[in-house]
Amino acid sequence: MTAATRVLVLNGPNLGRLGKREPSIYGSATHADLEELCLRTGKELGLDVEVRQTEYEGELVTWIHQACDDQTPVVLNAGALTHYSYALMDAVKMRTAPLVEVHISNIAAREGFRHESVITGAATGIIAGFGFQSYILALRAIAEQVR
């Protein structure tokens, strides 16, 4: 029996406030609900999923560096950092395994500043607009990539 592939699901600023933050956009489910969904989906796909959330850009960059060093696939929702964090973009450019950018909402259908992602060009791909289902789709994509 082979060990399950480790995957990090990394969430940036304000995602810890899911369920309270703009429920008309993000829904009423919490970050704990999202974590449970990701862990369950990972298990079904034979992935060893770890979910993390931070309010701090530097911590997110450090986690990406660690993933690069360990060749760990990543599902990344950088929150608002998506649109302006060149430090995060530079970290993602160093990736050594698949990295899927995810968004709960359709960023292209929202405020103008959300239309551009500095992360997308360095990611393996992007999934947006499907609510928490975006994470499931990203984990499935990673499972396919690492097989």
Q: Which residues are catalytic?
A: 26, 103
Q: Which residues pair with 50 in a beta bridge?
A: 8
CA–CA gap between residue 37 and residue 35 (Å, rounded): 5
Tell me if 114 is assigned to a ligand binding site. yes
Q: Is 77 annotated as a binding residue?
A: yes
Ligand-binding site membership of 69 (annotated)? no
Q: Is 140 annotated as a binding residue?
A: no
Check whether 105 is labelled as a binding-site residue. yes
Angle CA(35)–CA(59)–CA(64) in degrees, nearest 5?
75
Binding-site residues for substrate, in ranges, read: 77, 83, 90, 104-105, 114
Annotated binding site: 77, 83, 90, 104-105, 114
